[in-house]
Structure 1
Amino acid sequence: MTGTTMVVLIVFISVGFGVMYDMYKKHLEFKEKTLKHNLSSDAQAQELQQTITDLKRRVAALETIVTDKNYSLKDEINRL
């Protein structure tokens, strides 16, 4: 191997490792962003699930009120 070939080979190896290191850093940044996004999505999903649970309880309470016989009786009296 000549001296020029060795220099060119060393430059290619150095540049190659530099490029791979930058790609690895970008990959880690992407994973970090993805993790943050997933955590915020999980929090939103949990909040929506709580809202749905609250709404189901409210609907059940309203159904209980509307199906109550006293409510029907008041409605009939008001119609007269």
Structure 2
Amino acid sequence: MSGTTMVVLIVFISVGFGVMYDMYKKHLEFKHRTLTDNKESNNQIAAVTAEMLALKERVQTLEAIVTDQSYSVKQEINKL
């Protein structure tokens, strides 16, 4: 092997490993961002679910009040 061929081969190997290392770093950054985004999404989903459950409880309470017999009697009294 000539000296020029060895120099070219060493340069290609060095550049190749540098590119692969940069790709690996980008992959790790992407994984970290994905995990962080998933945690934020899960927190938002939990908050919306909790709010929805609270609203369901309120609606059930309001339905119980409206369908109660004493409520309709009060409405009739107020009409008089």
Q: Give the TM-score normalised by the residue count of structure 2.
A: 0.97
% same residue = 65
CA RMSD of aligned residues (A): 0.6
- For these two proteins, the number of residue pairs brought into alignment is 80
Cα distance in 2 for partners of 1:74, 1:41 equals 47
5+ residue gaps, structure 1, are: none
Cα distance in 1 for partners of 2:10, 2:29 equals 29
State the 1:79 CA deviation: 1.1
Asked if residue 68 in structure 1 is aligned to residue 68 in structure 2, the reply is: yes
State the 1:77 CA deviation: 1.1
State the 1:35 CA deviation: 0.3
Q: Which residue of 2 aligns with 1:10?
A: 10
Aligned ranges for residues 1-80 of structure 1 at < 5 Å? 1-80=1-80
Give 4+ residue runs of structure 1 displaced > 2 Å after superposition: none
1:8-49 Cα deviation digits (max 9, x unpaired): 011001001001100110110011011000001001101111
Cα distance in 1 for partners of 2:30, 2:7 equals 35
Cα distance in 2 for partners of 1:25, 1:4 equals 32
State the 1:7 CA deviation: 0.6
Cα distance in 1 for partners of 2:24, 2:76 equals 74
Cα distance in 2 for partners of 1:8, 1:43 equals 53
